[in-house]
Each structure stands twice: as structure tokens, then as C-alpha cells.
Structure 1
Amino acid sequence: VKPTGTITIENRNDAQGTFDVRVTNVSSPKDISSVILPTWSQTDDLRWYEATRQSDGSYKLTVNKKDHKYRTGT
């Protein structure tokens, strides 16, 4: 059984070039030590980030476009 969760995009700020990725409803048959998320606009700027666990049990990652050559993906 694979770990599962629901991913949503929140707090999009076009002026600052940031947005939050929130992972909720995280479940796994084993203990979860971290949630690692890939982010990219094109294949040459793929980066993996560790999301931060929130007090409600969800995980959050703030992504900044500057870390991806100011490009947007689809």
C-alpha cells in the first residue's frame, strides 16, 4: 500500500512569485518521517523540497519562482 494525500495550491502571490503547496489527509501504513515534493517548470529545473509539518497534521511548502528561473509550468 502506497502513502496517500490530497495536494492543493494556496496563497498564490503573483507579485512575489510564490505559492504554497499543502498536503492534507496524509496516510501511510508506516510512520511518516517527511513529505518530499518535486517542483519544476521544465525538466532542467526539477527540485525536491521537504514540506513542513503543520500543527493540524498537514504539510506545507512555499515555492518561489526565482528558484525555477522565473518560469511557470503547466
Structure 2
Amino acid sequence: MISVTRLNGDSFLLNAMLIEQIQSFPDTTITLVNNKRLVVKESEREIVQLMTNYYKQVGIVAIQQKAGDSGES
């Protein structure tokens, strides 16, 4: 789960696995897989970073630097 903030200042937890699309209109709009849309204060970049951190935390995304590190220069 990631913590995001509605435009009115209320924070809530969102299941990052349900996010299908993120857009800026200029407000950040998150579209979920069920077509529900949420408008949040965080930027697209912040949401992507929160999602990436969450995926790493639960083991969905491996740390690419270690996986691709062959020790060559």
C-alpha cells in the first residue's frame, strides 16, 4: 500500500497493484484497474517512486543494479 493525499488534505492508503494509469491534468489523476479515478496532491514522479519502493518492498521488483551487475568496466 502507498500513502497518498486527496486535494482536500485527507491522506489514505492505496493498493499500488490496482493502479493502471497516472496522468497530470495538471492535478495528478490516478486511474485504477476498475476505471475509478482519484485526484491526489502528489506528482506523477512521486507516485511512481512510491509504487517502485512498494514493489521492491514486497519483492515484485528486483534491484536491477545487482541483477545486471556483471562486474565489467
Q: Normalising by the residue count of structure 2, what TM-score does the alignment of the two structures yield?
A: 0.27
Whose strand proportion is higher, 1 or 2?
A: 1
Whose helix proportion is higher, 1 or 2?
A: 2
Larger of the two Rg values belongs to structure: 2
Q: Normalising by the residue count of structure 1, what TM-score does the alignment of the two structures yield?
A: 0.26
